[in-house]
Structure 1
Amino acid sequence: MLDGIRLLAALMVVSYHYMAIGGGWTSSVTKLFPRGHLPASYGWLGVELFFVISGFVICMSCWGKPVGEFFVSRVTRLYPAYWVGIIATTAVVILVPGGLTPRSWPEILTNFTMLQQPLNSRDVDAVYWTLAAELHFYLLMAVVAWRGLTYRKIVVFCFGWAIASAALIKWDDGPLKQMVMPAYSWYFIAGMAFYLMYRYRPNLLLTGIVATCFLAAQRFALIQLGREEHSMGRNVPEWPVTVILAVCFGLMALVATGRLSWIKWRWLPVAGAITYPLYLLHEYIGWEIFRNLQGHYPVYAVLGGTVLLMLLVSYLVHVLVERPLSAWMRPRLRAAVEQARTASRQVVRP
């Protein structure tokens, strides 16, 4: 069922970019989608749900595996679809006239490293900002998992990260604050606590960690709402933010306690597989489609057709590029990691 929740999070973000931001549409979304724009205005919370899922999944991926294997799994999972996203988005922006301004070639090339934000280069697509947060989390998890993960180590890490996040809130932005991510750490921490519930069983300590993260996240979610209101150009009620976050945490609690284990629909693995390509591809490409098709076809036909197209393209990227390229990269990266491990054990004799 976790795959289904992933797709839900992705579709929340898609609805926000397509029906709330208004990119690509020549008319106001409040007029185009009189009933849909307000619910879509909270779709950005799908990113927060992604972060909770990431805390759960990455903790599960690290468990019982050496750091080298964790490195291989993350590289082969993140980069193939990401490279396709850069190429496809750049091609569409360049080839479609009168729309978005393409990034410079140095910026595009820098994006292929996925390090554009620390290198002070603009993202090819605005949605890539979340990848920096994911990379920070992966780095922290690699340090924690260096000698293997244990229940105690994860709990200590959760407490330490939460304390550091609270302590750094009032600090000026700097490398330490950027690594700790006090605005988003609460979601990753909650995800890890949910995984411990899943692997062992719920208890008061883990429930307390999740509850603390939920309560602490409220302040930052409302700050983020202010930023999103600026992007949308209008204000929306605050109370749905708390309700939607509660639903997101509630869904993860159901997963952690096994209450959704009976759901085994065949399409769920496919849903989980296409979520990442969908997230990477949908925004700028979708906006260019809206800009060129609005006025020629009914608005809802353009919207629905674009969503279906993005789902189809995401599936094709997964099947034709992501899966075979990951399979090609995985043994070669493992061999490189093993070579480095073997070389580090050799004694250099004079």
Structure 2
Amino acid sequence: MTIQKPDVRPQRPWFSSGPTAKRPGYSLAGLPHGLLGRGIRAPEVVERFAHGLRLTREVLEVPESHVMLYTPGSDTGAVEAALWGMLGARPAQVVAFENFGLTWLADVKDHLGLEPEALTAPWGELPDLSKVDWSRDVVFPWNGTTSGVRVPDGDWIADDRQGLAICDATSAAFAMPLPWDKLDVVTFSFQKALGGEAGIGVMALSPRAVERLDSYRPERAIPKVLRITDGKGRFDRSLADGAAINTFSILTIEDWIDALEWARSVGGLAELIRRTDANSAALAEWVERTDWIDFLPERPEIRSTTSVCLKFVDPRLTALDEKAQKAFVTRFKALLEGEGAVFDMEPHRNAPPGLRLWCGCTVETSDVVAATPWLEWAFETALQSSPE
């Protein structure tokens, strides 16, 4: 089968799941630069950082009951700060259904030396959430960036939980509703949530999480970049006022503020979720009418609307071993990027061979629609160029 190369390319062909597309109309030249080169402790700089936290709270609709702070190391640093600083006070459980959940599980076991209970599931599936034990501290991703699986809602989280609900929400924040009354630690990153630059994470802590930090001192030594307590072993309140644990990039903060101001200007959280849903719906419509591709998660209610993960179902590919399928994805990717049509549509390196396209709020629905004919062209072209 020969398929004609499409005539129309996406105007913004960026579909990476991290860093994600910059917001529409973005210009680096438009960022303020008056504070560049200033000291990280300068009052004006601290206030600018605090302004970014206030904007984050406003756009994400984080309740005043939760305190917010920045961490080094993006979402990874934020999650690790929670694990190192809070776990060990009571038994733990890790819900791991994709690469990063499995990473948190390994860290809790191998680096913290704890013995957590693990609830796991194959790629494309969700563990049985009825088995979550809320007498324990529970660590879980809200949305599995690498598997395209998300938890459907927060009904499974107990209101009378004894342990903390520690939620990695990096590919769910600003795209899916989060039940703040059920979450004690929420982490996310600039570069996924709104297409910001990498390197800085955000934590939102409930009063229960702050109380844990105030009252529990782990026996292990905590590295400085993960330490969110002060010299007295209590939560460092200055972090909630814009202070930085180490030297953060002021330009990165300005970039984040720019993304937040755009988010507020288009209508806030409700509009960001609507844009995300529209993008994923446009991609789903194409999947439903295309016979060689399907969703990696079979159940619609657990499918991600941001990091949409797809699998090959064409017999010409499913008959191949995993190495051959991954080689096919490499050819597929090269064809698309050689045309400047779709960038970074490959799955995570540990995920099954297939496609992954980011459909978060900074992507335009018209670009999702324009990308799909290119996916069809690249699929057939890559098949024809397959080695014997």
Bin for the TM-score computed over the shorter chain: under 0.3
TM-score normalised by the chain length of structure 2: 0.24
Which of the pair is proportionally richer in strand? 2
Which of the pair is proportionally richer in helix? 1
